Homo-oligomer: A and B are copies of this chain.
Amino acid sequence: MIDFEIPAETAELAAKIRQFVTDEVVPYEKDPRLTQHGPTEDLRRELVAKARAAGLLTFQAPKEFGGIAPSHLEQAVLFEAAGWSTLGPVALNCAAPDEGNMFLLSKIANPAQVAEFLKPVIDGHQRSVFAMTEPGGAGSDPGQLTTKAVRDASTGDYVINGRKWLITGANGARTWIIMADLEGAGATLFLCHGDAPGIVIERTMDTMDRNYVEGHGVVLFDDLRLPPSALLGEEGEAFRYAQLRLAPARLTHCMRWLGAASRAHDIALDYARTRTAFGKPIGQHQGVGFMLADNEIALQQCRLMIWWACWKLDQGERGRHESSMVKSTVSEQLFQVADRCVQVLGGMGISDETPVAMIFRDIRAFRLYDGPTEVHKYAIARQVLGR
């Protein structure tokens, strides 16, 4: 039965999260540890401690790990609240890439791997990376994986060589999920610690976005030798696992950025009410007012699209098609929202006097990660043509 009522307990928790973010997290947006390369690990630990104290840390975890195991729909409401500050998900430990990595590991890691690699991430003590993307491709088109793993016949060890980039949070992360092309088996996932000899973090890239802890690294795997126990799931199944992670991860991105874009809209609204030009508040000029109206509509559209896809997932569907529809339209629409907020703020909009410029930059990047809009549209087209 079609209904848009948010369940009371979800609404309450969302309000609590929003209050926490507003009171405890927003002040950190001016902290110098929120650098051009993202929040530092030091800042992250300070934020995580706040969330832990508030009893909100990693709320989305499965119940056996102390979370409330929210449905996808509940996540939609809660992650939007968390996203009100770009640092909110960092504090609450529901930010990318950890959130998606925790999801994946909870599905496919064995008990020993859970204890060693997943548990510390859920507890907020460590961070994780998903090392897939490569300079020459291997992002949207997985057929181009050049990082190679070979089996050492004498020891049974896997030996990995290759270079990855845009590896989010690489610097200082302890739980590494690595995708490599295993000789004879195809794309395979491996699990290891970040201080393993053979993992060389060559540099942190300068990027437009600023809200991934420790930014995005360029990583060299130089004869990285891993024991047989490092195999994550089964050999040759990396893309199936990555897909498993993908649909929900796309949606949680959308939720968080919906929260951030709503915040930008709120800031633009405040400004449009109080700043005057040519004798009246600028919001009363239709040129500005129409931008605010467009934002109001776009935010609601995005929210409904996210909820709808989440409902599909909650019904047990895989949701690949729906999550492609949602990711492509939400990322584009939220970018337009952020762009209009910058424009409403005028000269101030391009400065860091407000978080709007930062949100704009991050959402620009969002249109590219987890598959650029064009790749999603192509997939949607094939799906509807084949119907």
Contacts and interface: CB of A to CB of B under 8 A. Distances in A.
A377 B101 CA distance: 41
A223 B242 CA distance: 62
A126 interface: no
Interface residues of A, number: 88
A312 B10 CA distance: 20
A4 B317 CA distance: 14
- Residues of A contacting B: mostly: helix
Contacts of A73: 2
A381 interface: yes
Q: Tell me the number of copies of this protein.
A: 4
Interface in A125-143: 133, 135, 137, 139-141, 143
Interface string A1-31: 1111111000000000000000000000000
Interface string A186-217: 00000000000000000001111100000010
A137 B385 contact: no
Interface in A249-270: 269
A381 B283 contact: yes
A352 B361 CA distance: 13
Which of A4, A7, A304, A382 gathers the greatest number of chain B CB atoms within 10 Å?
Answer: A4
Interface string A278-296: 1001011111111011101
Given A286-B286, A287-B290, A296-B325, 15 more contacts: A2-B311, A137-B275, A140-B346, A144-B276, A166-B347, A205-B351, A206-B351, A207-B352, A269-B385, A281-B385, A293-B376, A294-B377, A297-B329, A300-B308, A301-B305
A384 B209 contact: no
Which of A73, A165, A377: most chain B CB closer than 10 A? A377
A141 B282 CA distance: 11
A382 B290 CA distance: 10
B350 A364 contact: yes
B2 A347 contact: no
Sort A-B residue pairs by CB-CB distance and give the 4 closest, nearest first.
A289-B381, A286-B286, A206-B352, A293-B380
10 contacts: A206-B352, A286-B378, A287-B378, A288-B374, A290-B374, A290-B378, A296-B380, A301-B304, A304-B307, A343-B374
A263 B6 CA distance: 33
